[in-house]
Amino acid sequence: MDEAFYQDPEHRPKPTVGEAGEIPLIDLSPLAAESAEARQALPGLLDQVEAACMDWGFLQVVNHGVPLELLEGLQLAAREFFALPAEEKAQVRRDAVNPWGTTKGSTRRTSGTGKRFWTSWCPARRRDAGQRYGRAVEELAFKLLELISLTLGLPAKRLNEFFEGGSPSTFIRLNYYPPCPAPHLALGVGRHKDAGALTVLAQDDVGGLDVKRRSDGEWVRVKPIPGSLIINVGDIIQVWSNDKYESAEHRVSVNSERERFSIPFFFNPDMSTMIEALEELVSDGAPRKYEAYNWGMFFKTRKDSNFGKLAAENIQIHHFKKNTQ
């Protein structure tokens, strides 16, 4: 195995703390139900969402309303794509401007150190199974956005306006992690935070996603739960909420036995959006913690370097942090 995949010792995956179902598991059925009884479950649901966003920045949801057959259709398409011979995958190139464009199987690199990650990925195309799945997940993402808005003490649809406009930037990616001959030395994806608003992730039954626990900095493996989806808060919600909800650091470990597939849906605002703390949440006593920044500029800068990583040269929200102390 190419030594470029060997991570520096401090980044190598140490055994994670058990697979305990520690990431909060939230049942979203009260959102779908019409009955008064189910509606009464809503305040409890808001409390759960608020606690999960504060304690973890991660949650898992069940009864989320996304038809599983749509997810399975896209999972099948991903399997078929990554099973193609390398030459065929290389022929379909990603369009640098349009993340929904065509596809390309590529290997991620850490641009800072030249270390490589043990994965291939491609964006889902608009016209394939990705589109139907994408529409269903987008509906879920808006419901989650409304819940989050309510937990911030704001009207349910307060954040929706940021997702309207002529330059959408939401996209789906297909990730593939082949079995790795030296999983103790490599990583599928290095530690990072997602830059957008929310990520809705479908993982298969193999497992490998590790979340950094806030209380002690330990990496906790997210247990695969059939039919569930994983939600994580991205940097934009951190800024909108003025640090009430922090985006969580995560990474992907690999294994020597089984290939793994995952499908993140990155729910992002319109490119034209200026990102800053919501005015209802700031006051003289609680000033904005970040300078406003343009999402389209941030997104393009991140994509032109190498997405995802906490590498020094990559654009990060802390570059916009104000000196308030």
Residues that bind ligand AKG (CB under 6 A): 173, 175, 189, 194, 201, 203, 209, 250, 252, 262, 264, 308
45 vs 314 by CB, closer to Fe ion: 314
CB 303 within 8 A of CB 97: no
72 vs 291 by CB, closer to ligand AKG: 72
The tokens for 175 are 């990730």
Q: Which does 193 bind (CB under 5 to 8 A by kind): Fe ion, ligand AKG, none?
A: none
CB 270 within 8 A of CB 166: yes
Q: How far is the CB of 266 from ligand AKG (least distance, A)?
A: 8
- SS3 string, 135-180, reads HHHHHHHHHHHHHHHHHCCCCCCCCHHHHCCCCCCCEEEEEEECCC
187 vs 277 by CB, closer to ligand AKG: 187
**Site stretch for Fe ion (CB under 5 A), options 14-22, 124-132, 138-146, 187-195:** 187-195
Q: How far is the CB of 195 from ligand AKG (least distance, A)?
A: 9
49 vs 230 by CB, closer to ligand AKG: 230
Number of residues that bind Fe ion (CB under 5 A): 1
The residue number with the shortest CB distance to Fe ion is 194
Q: How far is the CB of 115 from Fe ion (least distance, A)?
A: 17
Q: How many Å apart are CA 17 and CA 60, to the nearest integer?
A: 18
123 vs 264 by CB, closer to ligand AKG: 264
**Site stretch for Fe ion (CB under 5 A), options 10-18, 47-55, 137-145, 188-196:** 188-196
31 vs 110 by CB, closer to Fe ion: 110
Q: How far is the CB of 95 from ligand AKG (least distance, A)?
A: 19
Q: How far is the CB of 230 from ligand AKG (least distance, A)?
A: 8
Using CB under 5 A as the binding rule, whether residue 194 contacts Fe ion is answered as yes
Q: How many Å apart are CA 35 and CA 90, to the nearest integer?
A: 52
Q: Which does 110 bind (CB under 5 to 8 A by kind): Fe ion, ligand AKG, none?
A: none
Q: How many Å apart are CA 21 and CA 248, to the nearest integer?
A: 17
122 vs 152 by CB, closer to ligand AKG: 122
Q: How many Å apart are CA 223 and CA 40, to the nearest integer?
A: 29
The tokens for 276 are 């800053």
Q: N- to C-terminal Cα distance for the chain?
A: 48
Q: How far is the CB of 156 from ligand AKG (least distance, A)?
A: 27
Q: How far is the CB of 101 from ligand AKG (least distance, A)?
A: 18
Burial (CB < 10 A; 0-12, 13-18, 19+), residue 255, is middle
Q: Which residues contact 130 (CB under 8 A, 6 or more apart)?
A: 74, 77, 124, 172
Q: How far is the CB of 208 from ligand AKG (least distance, A)?
A: 6
Q: Which does 152 bind (CB under 5 to 8 A by kind): Fe ion, ligand AKG, none?
A: none
Residue 135 has, within 13 A of its CA and on its CB side, a CA count of 7
Using CB under 5 A as the binding rule, whether residue 146 contacts Fe ion is answered as no
Using CB under 5 A as the binding rule, whether residue 235 contacts Fe ion is answered as no
Burial (CB < 10 A; 0-12, 13-18, 19+), residue 268, is buried
- DSSP for 269-321? --TTPEE---GGG--SSS--SB--EEHHHHHHHHHHS-TT---TTS--GGGGB
Using CB under 5 A as the binding rule, whether residue 138 contacts Fe ion is answered as no
